Amino acid sequence: MEFATTTELNQHTNNVLRRVLEDKEDIVLTKNGKPVAMIIPTNGDDIEEHILIKYLGLNKTPTKKEIAEGKPAKDIFAELKKSRKS
C-alpha cells in the first residue's frame, strides 16, 4: 500500500493514477497527515464485486457456482441482513 497527499494528487494526477494502474497498488490519500480516501485499481470487471463487499456489507465474494445459479436478489439480501446481525 502506498500513500499520496491530496496536494500530490491535485498537482500530479496522472503520475498517481499511473502508480495505481501499473503497480496494481492501493493508494491511501492523506490530508494534513491523516487518511481521507483510497484509490484502488480495477479492471472494470470487479466493480460490482467491490460494491457488494463495501456498500452492501457482503462478507464474501460470490462463488462462480452461485453466480452461475443466478441466486435471487432476495436471497442475497437475506444473507446480508443475517451477516450484519452476527
**Residue 79: what pLDDT?**
72
Residue 60 and residue 76 share a domain: yes
Whole-model pTM: value is 0.56
Residue 27 belongs to domain with CATH number: 3.40.1620
The pLDDT tens digits for 4-20 are: 999 999 999 999 999 99
Rounded CA separation 41/46 (Å): 10
Overall number of domains in the chain: 2
pLDDT per residue over 34-84, tens digit each? 999 999 888 777 777 777 766 666 556 666 676 667 766 667 667 766 766
Tell me how many helices (H) and strands (E) the chain has.
5, 3
pLDDT category of residue 86 using cuts at 50, 70 and 90:
low
Q: Residue 57 corresponds to which amino acid?
A: G
Check whether residue 51 and residue 35 sit in a common domain.
no
Do the Cβ atoms of 6 and 30 come closer than 8 Å?
yes
C-alpha cell at 1: 500500500
**Do 53 and 29 reside in the same domain of the chain?**
no
Q: What pLDDT sits at residue 3?
A: 94
**Do 30 and 53 sit in the same domain of this protein?**
no
Owning domain of residue 20: 2-39
